[in-house]
Copies of this chain bind each other. A is one copy, B any other.
Amino acid sequence: MTTRALNLIVWNENIHETRDEKVIRIYPDGIHRVIADALQQLLSDSEVRTATLADPEHGLTEAALADTDVLLWWGHEAHDAVDDAVVQRVKTHVLGGMGLIVLHSGHWSKIFTSLLGTTATLRWRSSGDRELVWTATPSHPIADGVPNPIVIAEQEMYGEPFDIPTPDETIFMSSFSGGEVFRSGVTFTRGRGRIFYFSPGDQEYPVYHHPDIQRVIANGVEWAAPRSRTRDIPRLEGPVSPI
């Protein structure tokens, strides 16, 4: 695991938190604030910034991304409002080495589906299921320091089939009290970038206040961080000479 100080951006569309009383009670300063505070505490050397949909260029300017090791993404009802040019910019940075953590309903974000190529659809139900997050790969650093299983008292259900390419690693698998199962923590590599998708977390439940969930996200950030901040975007090389 890296020991250098990391620069992070926690991105949130921040729509529910401005409109929905129930969500505001759980996340009065936004989901991004709770996650950013947790990361600042757990990864104390890091510089943790936040950005939202309403910011100019969604807060994801070229300068901001060039200075970022890992970007965390939360979105739900405004995926379509994210500017295509910004998505392309983020994608270029991921392919060049920036880490990406995609959270919960971010499975349908433009950035996630454009990196995976599939629909990322799933089954769902929001009726307060208990979620048990089981560690399937105990040797993985993302699973360090959390109980097996993590118990989430109330949570939205996400269920299989989950239309994703075969992940590099399936670290967590969840069950729900309604009987469903889900690959809740999976990793992908695209270009030079490492991607971690982690499904627990929703605007209607206080999941991001859960210390084990915070620990997993912090572990994911450390895992996804590149060894240097220099981007190395894969590029066509040729014509090249024989060796």
Tell me the A residues contacting B by CB distance below 8 Å: 1-3, 95, 97, 114-119, 121-127, 129-130, 132, 134-139, 141, 144, 148-149, 151, 159-163, 165-166, 168-170, 173-181, 183, 188-194, 226-227, 232-243
Contacts and interface: CB of A to CB of B under 8 A. Distances in A.
A164 to B, nearest CB: 9
Can you tell how many copies of this chain the complex includes? Answer: 4
Contact of A118 (B163, B169, B170, B234): B234
Contact of A148 (B161, B165, B183, B226): B161
A97 B170 contact: no
B238 A123 contact: yes
B170 A132 contact: no
Nearest to A242: B178
Contacts of A242: 125, 127, 129, 177-179
A161 B181 contact: no
Contacts of A148: 161
B161 A136 contact: yes
A194 B138 CA distance: 13
Given A125-B241, A139-B226, A173-B173, 11 more contacts: A121-B234, A132-B180, A132-B181, A138-B192, A139-B194, A149-B243, A163-B234, A165-B188, A174-B181, A175-B176, A178-B243
Contact of A240 (B159, B166, B169): B159
A95 B124 contact: no
Contacts of A237: 121-124
Contacts of A149: 179, 243
Contacts of A124: 236-240
